Amino acid sequence: MNSPVVTVGIPLYNHADWLGETLESLLTQTFSDCRFIAVDDCSTDDSRQVVESYVAIDGRLSYECNSRRLGMIGNWRRCFEVARERYPNARYFAWASDHDLYHPRALEELVGQLDNHPEAVLAYSSHLKISETGEPRGQGGWKFDTAGITSRNKRFVETTWRMSAGNMIYGLFRSDALLKAGVFRKILLPDRFLIAEISLQGEFRQVRELLWYRRHEGVFSLGRQRQSLFGSKQPWWARIPWWISQPKALGWNLCIRGTGRPKVSRLYGFFYAYEYFFVSTILHFARGIRRFQKRHLPRYIDRAKEFFSGRSRDTAAGD
Amino acid sequence: MQDTPAKKQSTEFTEAVQHRIAALRNSVAFQNYEDVRNHVLRMKDLEAQRSETVLKPSAYWREELENFEYMLDAHPLIIDKLRHHSYHVTGLRVYDYRSNKDSVRELLAEKLEVLVKMGGHDLLVPEPRDMGGFGFEIEGQLYNIDTLKFYEVLIAMQRSSVLPDLRKPADRKLVWEIGAGWGGFAYQFKTICSNVTYVIMDFPELFLFSGTYLKTMFPEARVEFFDHGSLGKLLGQWRDIDFLFVPNTFLDDFSPDQVDLAINMVSFQEMTSDQVRAYVEKAHELQSPYLYSLNRDRSPYNRELLSVSNIIAERFLPRQIPVLPVSYPKMLNKLTKARGLRARLKKKKVTRPDYKHIVGCHRMTLNGKHIPGSTGEAAPSLGLPPGEASE
């Protein structure tokens, strides 16, 4: 069987309402040398029926269901495993969300980036957040890449400071690089960990146009992520703060297991792990401050205003 | 008896005017107008022979069209200042752009600056001074609401990855604008995407504006008008044509072998649901990969339309592209400019623009019908035959 250039894994879980539109936007890609593998993590809604109605009209799409619920990490890994088993020679791999929309030229543009830049391991586009009803949220157009940065260390530092892992993870990966980076490790914030690790292998390239429309539901929280990542069985290490567990895991991989060799020696691995710990700690606390500013500060200012205006009224009444 | 000085002066003026009119009568613009008018009259004759269609002008549009009936026999002075008369179509008047309106000019300049930050100078095409072009002078160029509206549309198309393909010089593309008004957007589009055949479908009377304007602004371009029996022949050689004008009532006969983009600005909202659906279905049938729309979901007074975006969604997957936080006719204000903590402290919700930039992407169909949920019917050849993936 001929191997496609791109395989796309679509992890499914209870998004039947939007799944039809998502599949349409994937199956109408202008880049057609690709296969789509939908892996259902035991959805309780109509996901299966929706996918099967599209499987009937386009043989590039296939469906399979896990025998038990694996959680997000397990299901994402399963998507990659199935893709590798069926199409071991496919050059590129991407995960596609089961509730987002893709521009028809999304794959064409991303494949073009990786084809034209052999030094790149990941290509992604700008995106627009949309609400459940499809209304845009914000202006979109977030920008970050490491194109042209040849120094591995500089690339790693830039990535750890500026990455937006939750968005970049839906980009198009060079399959071999993804495999070397451990795919999607069983750890809290696995996307962040993967993007950091894969940055050691090559550049990231971004297409500035909006080729991906990301449907947002609810607000991110680590508690919610713990539940969805690991399914019913949460491992004990999921309780360790990510800014401690991730550098530790990176050190383990690079220094002890030597997974970065020959490009990254064990000694350099130690420095990368240390650097990652330093940046993660600062980012963690900076995020805490930003969250406070965003969610709580306006409330406190309002209360202070009310307090002082009430006091001035009381004073006026007293006079 | 000798003429008094006053009488002599008045004669001089009359002679100067007559001389000017005679010169204008021989101008390229007026000759283009006369040519366009002949085509328009023939189109109207052909239209009259046709049976009733859903695309005939509504009562609202009949009234609008009557307002510029004088354009069927326009004086050379009118054609010389054609843009001053396009307020019938666009609503913009020269009066609003006089030099004493400094505060409005500042607001427009501010809006332009914000747009340039988003879109760069690459897509910016100012209003030409020819044919009575008007607007506020900003950095030596003319800009008005329409100029910025079209610029905004081009930015939305660029952001949504529609434009880059059309700007490639490699292969000729066909762009179909439904309702082009006075031809302003066609002018901007053709200026930045030169390797494009631009088809305008509209009420024939409006070609008096758009046809004359575009023919004059692009003197080298090949401009063709629909004529009896000619459409098939013209569409067969569309790659050699720059502008093609087709009356809207001949929608059924419009079948080029390729459409790369269908556009509608501010006229779907004025149509009935059936009319919008007819255009959307035609764009889908012609395999147009994109349908761009800048419309409100429904004009407040239009009771014959449900929702533009819902009708588009029947055949195209719609994506709304944000450009500015205000609709194109409005200027930015303090509230829309507030960002971050300041905006949150204001606690007032900024209303969303009611004109939406929507880019619709061609939807899949099964036997001509939209598919989700349907199974068991014969599969069209969208990709590989079913079952290949599981081999």
- B264-303: pLDDT as tens digits: 999 999 888 999 999 999 999 999 999 999 999 887 777 7
In the predicted model, is pLDDT for residue A221 greater than 70? Answer: no
Provide the pLDDT for residue B336. Answer: 59
Please, which residues bridge with residue B357 across strands? B294
In the predicted model, is pLDDT for residue B194 greater than 90? Answer: yes
Q: Mean pLDDT throughout A13-34?
A: 93
DSSP secondary structure letter of residue B339: -
CA separation for the pair A300, A297 (Å, rounded):
5
**Nearest alpha carbon to residue A129 among A245, A14, A215:** A215
Burial class of residue A251, CB neighbours in 10 A (0-12, 13-18, 19+): buried
CA separation for the pair B160, A136 (Å, rounded):
13
Contact B320 A130 (CB under 8 A): yes
**Chain B residues near any Cβ of chain A (below 8 Å):** 158-161, 164-165, 289, 317-322, 341, 344-345, 347, 352, 361-364, 366, 371-376, 379-380, 382-391
Q: What are phi and psi of B181, to 5 degrees?
A: 60, -130
Say whether the peptide bond before residue A262 is cis (omega within 30 degrees of 0).
yes
CA separation for the pair A11, A39 (Å, rounded):
5
Q: Mean pLDDT throughout B128-140?
A: 94
In the predicted model, is pLDDT for residue B237 greater than 50? Answer: yes
| Residue B177 in tokens | 């604008």
Shortest Cα–Cα distance, B194 to chain A (Å): 22
**pLDDT range class, residue A291, cuts 50, 70, 90:** confident
Contact A53 B379 (CB under 8 A): no
- Residue A109's closest chain B neighbor by CA? B161
Cβ neighbours of B380 in A, within 8 Å: 57
Asked if B388 and A57 touch (Cβ cutoff 8 Å), the reply is no
Contact B160 A209 (CB under 8 A): yes
CA separation for the pair A64, A26 (Å, rounded):
18
Burial class of residue B35, CB neighbours in 10 A (0-12, 13-18, 19+): middle
CA separation for the pair B123, B117 (Å, rounded):
11
What's the ipTM?
0.79
Shortest Cα–Cα distance, B155 to chain A (Å): 11
Give the best-scoring range by mean pLDDT among B54-63, B199-208, B378-387: B199-208
CA distances from B23 to A66, B9, B11, B130, B218 (A): 81, 21, 18, 16, 21
Shortest Cα–Cα distance, B325 to chain A (Å): 9
- Residue A21's closest chain B neighbor by CA? B317
In the predicted model, is pLDDT for residue B383 greater than 60? Answer: no
| Residues A69-81: tens digit of each pLDDT | 899 999 999 999 9
Nearest to A210 among B160, B345, B384 (CB): B160
Q: Which of A95-109, A201-215, B337-351 has the lowest mean pLDDT?
A: B337-351
Nearest to B322 among A1, A140, A293 (CB): A140
CA distances from A76 to A10, A14, A169, A177, B16 (A): 8, 15, 11, 16, 81
pTM of the model: 0.84
Shortest Cα–Cα distance, A56 to chain B (Å): 6
In the predicted model, is pLDDT for residue B54 greater than 90? Answer: no
Shortest Cα–Cα distance, B286 to chain A (Å): 16
